Amino acid sequence: MLQDSHSLYSTEPGKEPMKELSSSTLSVKELIRRGNIRMEKCELKEAGQFFEDALEKGKSSRDYRGMSDSLAQLLRYSSEICDEIGTQKWISELEIFLAHHEGKLTPHVWYCKGIVSFRRSQYKKAQVLFHRFWREIENEETAEKTAMSVSVETHREHMRAKAQALLALSLVAHAQGKMKRAQYLGEVILKYAERERPRGILTSTYLMLCRIAERTGDTVQAKKWLQKAFAESVSEHNWYHYLFVLYGFARVSRIEQDFIQARFYLDLLEKAVVGDEFKHFKNEIAEERVKLNLNRVDLEIDLNRSVVRTREGEINLRRQHLLIEILHQLTIAHDHGLSKGDLIEKVWGEPYQPEAHDGKLYYNINRIRKLIEPDQKKPLYLLNWRQGYRLAPELKIRMVQGEAT
């Protein structure tokens, strides 16, 4: 869920410089910036190559700050793509760097190390590292103020970094079940982010607040946060964040038991994450499909929209009120079924007379079966029962009624 793809120490991504420039002619900062742009475009392999080029450039030019930032980006990147071997490699390189250049680590290193711990569900360790990230930012601020060298751009970078630290701490609080703290931190970030609109932070904040709303069962608010996240990710052309938005819509649809919509979002997401570097998303999709299968219903009668949903798909019954009412009454009587007489009285509101009513009842039962049964000769949903009909007793059925939201 820690998916900020924008370097705290890069300039705002915009139009890239001329494509013919080779990596050897670019600064470490520019290479990192380009790597983050590739991340936003979902070109993850290319992003990793830019970060590696930045590290090599930092080494050759003895740019220790650049080396530190490059290692941080590589650590975050390898964790993001679930490359455990790569993650261990860059952790080892960071330790070597620290041994030879004590005091040269930039604050962002602590954030990236925190991401690794967070992804490993080591929440207390992640919390310590994110707090360290915050303290290191404050130390830099103090040193620069003392030296009277704080530019407007540097101040903005520090503010963005602090927002990122608070966002990370909010996500840790959420993972630990501390909803009030997570909500409080999210609201603090939001006041700053909606005013200053730092790239990458606002979408991540909306997504985090969506998670909190999901956890508290407020799916209406969760969808509002997702809509904001969608608009922000599109306005920034950040397609990597957009993948998280799709995943959020899939989760919320499942919670609302709109299983067809949930599958739609998961199918859409699956088509977008085809490479090995999207292993994280593939794992999330697989886990979500398991939850979807556990929570799904076999038959849903949506009285608000006159729609019936089965395992095979959705059937619109908006102009077929008799059919939706027959299914409505059979759903109410799922435990025991209804006789022909009961159905006539409840649906048509008339005293049952076999010679007058059997024909119309058979006709409408057959209409329903044509619409919902995969094989009318072997019905799975609507069964004959004694002197009437019932919905199959093993079915998981959900009825939606009341005011539509």
Distance, in Å, from the CA atom of 265 to the CA atom of 329, rounded to the nearest integer, reads 32
Task: Pick the closest to residue 292 from 254, 248, 265, 246 (CA basis).
Answer: 254
In angstroms, rounded to a whole number, what is the distance separating the alpha carbons of residues 337 and 268?
39
Amino acid 320 reads: Q
Domain covering 1-12+21-143+153-171, topology? 1.25.40
Are residues 39 and 244 in contact, defined by beta-carbon separation less than 8 angstroms? no
Reference 108, options 67, 149, 58; nearest CA is: 67
pLDDT score for 259:
81
As beta bridge partners, residue 7 has none
pLDDT of residue 16: 47
Amino acid at 250: A
Structure tokens at 242: 């957009």
Q: What is the pLDDT of residue 350?
A: 94
- The beta-carbon contacts of 320-328 under 8 Å, at least 24 apart in sequence, are 320/367, 322/347, 322/364, 323/364, 323/367, 323/368, 323/371, 326/364, 326/365, 326/368, 327/301, 327/368, 327/391, 328/301, 328/303, 328/399
Whole-number Å distance between alpha carbons of 248 and 261 = 12
What pLDDT, on a 0 to 100 scale, did the predictor assign at position 8?
34
Residues in Cβ contact with 260 at an 8 Å cutoff, skipping those fewer than 6 apart = 309, 313, 314
| Residue-level pLDDT at 250 | 96
Kind plus residue range of the DSSP H or E element containing 191? helix 179-196
pLDDT of residue 114: 96
The answer to whether residues 165 and 173 touch, using CB atoms and an 8 Å cutoff, is no
pLDDT at res. 9: 33
Q: Which residues of the chain have pLDDT under 70?
A: 1-23, 402-405
CA distance 369 to 383: 9
Contact partners, residue 82, CB within 8 Å, separation at least 6 = 279, 280, 283
What's the pLDDT at 147? 79
Q: How far apart, in Å, are the Cα atoms of 372 and each of 47, 64, 238, 239, 382?
A: 48, 67, 41, 38, 9
- CATH fold label, 299-400: Arc Repressor Mutant, subunit A (1.10.10)
Give CATH 1.10.10.10 domain extents, the chain: 299-400
Query: Which ranges in the chain are annotated with CATH 1.25.40?
Result: 1-12+21-143+153-171
